[in-house]
């Protein structure tokens, strides 16, 4: 099994020696790694390197080899009703796995009624979870988790994006250019209201895309959106 | 929000009055439903009906209207390395959501080392979770959770199935007939061994299908398999 550790975004430099955060040290010890063991070092912002564990007194550091910068991925935004915060942690993990570049929690009519909804105060945990998913998935890029917003903010925040609306009814997703900037809108549990749906279709010109006959949980729908996006960006 | 209740498979008959299991009663009370409220009644085996809550002394029953039998869905088998049992509960839920007809936990070399792996003794919980997912997703069919088996059992258990191998590298999934019987093989956490992969490719003639560059957790990969299957069975 490959062992990966996470370091702060932007901290990877050829030949550097980097101090590890406590959570990462703990992670390595749980995996029974020790001094001189090799690890893959990721910064969650496109850089990765081979590394080797070094001791410095009681502390461990990681000596970095040559740093590889991954190409910047095509923009893929997931705008999701800001529902239950625990499900949002899972969602953030899935977003990194699926190559989403941005996750935008949207305050919708129905998510506003959810007591446990994700709020500004909970975003740090969500961001950490998105970054931690780099280790499991090997993805060099963590999803950027933006501040909560409204549907009406989307065209301002992401003007270049072509919007798709994930629904259980809807058409088949069109073929996409490999570098097409795409954004998905997924309702909260309980769905978007008919007014919100109309806003998406008419103002954002979002194309409704179906994920099959069943009602998907929002985290399942997010994975569906990621899978379909990757599929449609592939040639042939 | 639609209120759905679950009754034992095969128990739905036109005009019947059905006793509810304790878990279902509790579910209705949490949702603050009462006598004469309407519910949708599902049996997880293709039958559904409009129902209405009736009281009988202190007990509640459901009076059933006309029963609708959903068409039998195309066979979609998910054979997954029998990893952590809690993740398998989530997986069973996802399988019902995604329209998988059968879930087969496979004892692989790497899943056998997992202490918390799903075993025969844990299958009842997994089955219950697959059925309960009918309520959230509205799917009339719960995924059938089979006994644990070996990769070598697959051709005997599901001889009619065309096998696809879900991997992070791999080709694009081919177009499928709407009624094509399809089976996916997904490794456990840590993946299939090279010997197991060879068995899948050579003996089962499984076509390797890629889900994108990242390493997916097995429950994410299962959703990816479901999404791609539904997409490829659609015309145009």
Residue with tokens 């840590």: B190
Residue of B97, B212, B231 lying closest to A220 (CB–CB): B97
Chain A neighbors of B138, CB-CB under 8 A: 214-215
pLDDT given for residue A57 in this prediction: 77
To the nearest 10 degrees (0 to 180), the angle between helices A85-97 and A218-233 is 10
Q: How many domains does chain B fold into?
A: 2
Q: Are A231 and B228 a contacting pair at CB < 8 A? A: yes
In angstroms, what separates the C-alpha of A215 from chain B's closest C-alpha? 4
- A227-236, B78-87, B90-99: segment of lowest average pLDDT: A227-236
* Mean pLDDT computed over B56-83: 92
* Mean pLDDT computed over B100-105: 98
Q: Are A115 and A198 contained in the same domain?
A: yes
pLDDT given for residue B37 in this prediction: 92
pLDDT given for residue B203 in this prediction: 96
pLDDT given for residue B235 in this prediction: 76
In angstroms, what separates the C-alpha of A224 from chain B's closest C-alpha? 6
DSSP assignment of A72-136: PPPPEEEEEE--BHHHHHHHHHHHHHTT-SEEEEE--TTGGG-TTB--GGGHHHHHHHHHHHHHH
Last residue of a domain, one of B69, B85, B107: B69
Higher pLDDT, A156 or A56: A156
Chain B neighbors of A136, CB-CB under 8 A: 215, 217
- Using one digit for the tens of pLDDT, what is the confidence trace for B2-60? 799 999 999 999 999 999 888 888 888 888 888 899 999 999 999 999 999 998 777 88
Q: Are B97 and A236 a contacting pair at CB < 8 A? A: no
Q: Report CA Rg, chain A.
A: 19
Q: Are A65 and A80 contained in the same domain?
A: no
Q: Are A138 and A176 contained in the same domain?
A: yes
Last residue of a domain, one of B69, B91, B109: B69
Chain A neighbors of B223, CB-CB under 8 A: 220, 223-224, 227
Q: How confident is the model at residue B236 (pLDDT cuts 50, 70, 90)?
A: low
Q: Are A91 and A156 contained in the same domain?
A: yes
Contact B183, B163 (CB under 8 A): yes
Whether B190 shows a pLDDT value over 90: the answer reads no
pLDDT given for residue B170 in this prediction: 87
Q: How confident is the model at residue B1 (pLDDT cuts 50, 70, 90)?
A: low
- Using one digit for the tens of pLDDT, what is the confidence trace for A121-155? 999 999 999 999 999 999 999 999 999 999 999 99
The CATH number given to whatever domain includes residue B44 is 2.40.240.20
Task: Give the CA distances from residue B195 to residues A57, B151, B157, B219, in Å, rounded to whole numbers and listed in that order.
Answer: 43, 11, 21, 23
In angstroms, what separates the C-alpha of B58 from chain A's closest C-alpha? 31
- pTM for this model (two decimals): 0.90
In angstroms, what separates the C-alpha of B82 from chain A's closest C-alpha? 18
The CATH number given to whatever domain includes residue B205 is 3.40.1280.10
Using the Cβ of A71 and the Cβ atoms of chain B, whether some distance falls under 8 Å is answered with: no
- A69-78, B149-158, B165-174: segment of lowest average pLDDT: B165-174
Q: What is the DSSP letter of B110?
A: T
Residue with tokens 């590889």: A68
State chain A's mean pLDDT as an integer. 93
Q: Are A58 and A106 contained in the same domain?
A: no
Q: Are B228 and A227 a contacting pair at CB < 8 A? A: yes
pLDDT over 90 for what percent of chain A? 78
Q: Are A108 and A21 contained in the same domain?
A: no
Higher pLDDT, A78 or A113: A78
pLDDT given for residue A25 in this prediction: 87
Using the Cβ of B21 and the Cβ atoms of chain A, whether some distance falls under 8 Å is answered with: no
Return d(Cα A195, Cα A40) in angstroms, integer: 48
Q: How confident is the model at residue B179 (pLDDT cuts 50, 70, 90)?
A: very high
Q: Are B63 and B104 contained in the same domain?
A: no
Residue of A138, A216, A234 lying closest to B172 (CB–CB): A234
Q: Which of A220, A230, A234 to mutate to test the interface with B (most CBs of B within 10 A)?
A: A220
Contact A171, A226 (CB under 8 A): no
Measured in whole angstroms, the distance separating CA A147 from the mean position of its chain's CA atoms is 14
Q: Are A183 and A148 contained in the same domain?
A: yes
What is the domain range of residue A62? 4-69
User: What is the ipTM, given to two decimal places?
Assistant: 0.87
Using the Cβ of B213 and the Cβ atoms of chain A, whether some distance falls under 8 Å is answered with: yes
Q: Are B215 and A99 a contacting pair at CB < 8 A? A: no
Residue with tokens 């990757």: A230
Q: Are B94 and B199 contained in the same domain?
A: yes
Q: Are B121 and B170 contained in the same domain?
A: yes
Q: Are A96 and A17 contained in the same domain?
A: no
Return d(Cα B35, Cα A106) in angstroms, integer: 37
Q: Are B97 and A214 a contacting pair at CB < 8 A? A: yes
pLDDT given for residue A68 in this prediction: 96
Q: Which residues pair with B92 in a beta bridge?
A: none
Return d(Cα B126, Cα B44) in angstroms, integer: 14
Q: Are B24 and B132 contained in the same domain?
A: no
State chain B's mean pLDDT as an integer. 93
pLDDT given for residue A1 in this prediction: 57
Mapping DSSP to helix (H, G, I), strand (E, B) and coil, where does residue B123 land? helix
Q: Are B215 and A137 a contacting pair at CB < 8 A? A: yes
């Amino acid at each position: 099994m490959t062992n990966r550790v996470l370091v702060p975004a932007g901290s990877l430099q050829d030949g550097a020696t980097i101090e590890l955060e406590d959570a990462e040290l703990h992670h390595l010890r749980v995996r029974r790694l020790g001094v001189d063991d090799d690890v893959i070092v990721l910064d969650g912002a496109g850089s990765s390197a081979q590394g080797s564990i070094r001791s410095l007194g009681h502390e461990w550091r990681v000596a970095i080899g040559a740093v590889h910068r991954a190409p910047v991925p095509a923009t893929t935004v997931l705008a999701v009703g800001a529902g239950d915060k625990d499900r949002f942690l899972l969602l953030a993990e899935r977003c990194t796995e699926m190559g989403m570049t941005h996750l935008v929690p949207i305050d919708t009519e129905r998510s506003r009624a959810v007591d446990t909804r994700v709020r500004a105060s909970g975003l740090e945990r969500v961001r950490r979870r998105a970054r931690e998913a780099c280790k499991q998935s090997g993805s060099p890029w963590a999803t950027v988790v933006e501040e909560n917003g409204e549907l009406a903010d989307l065209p301002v925040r992401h003007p270049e994006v072509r919007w798709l609306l994930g629904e259980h009814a809807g058409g088949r997703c069109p073929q996409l250019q490999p570098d097409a900037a795409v954004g998905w809108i997924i309702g909260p549990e309980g769905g978007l209201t008919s007014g919100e749906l109309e806003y998406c279709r008419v103002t954002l010109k979002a194309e409704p895309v179906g994920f099959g006959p069943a009602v998907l949980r929002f985290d399942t729908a997010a994975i569906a959106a990621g899978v379909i996006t990757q599929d449609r960006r592939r040639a042939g």
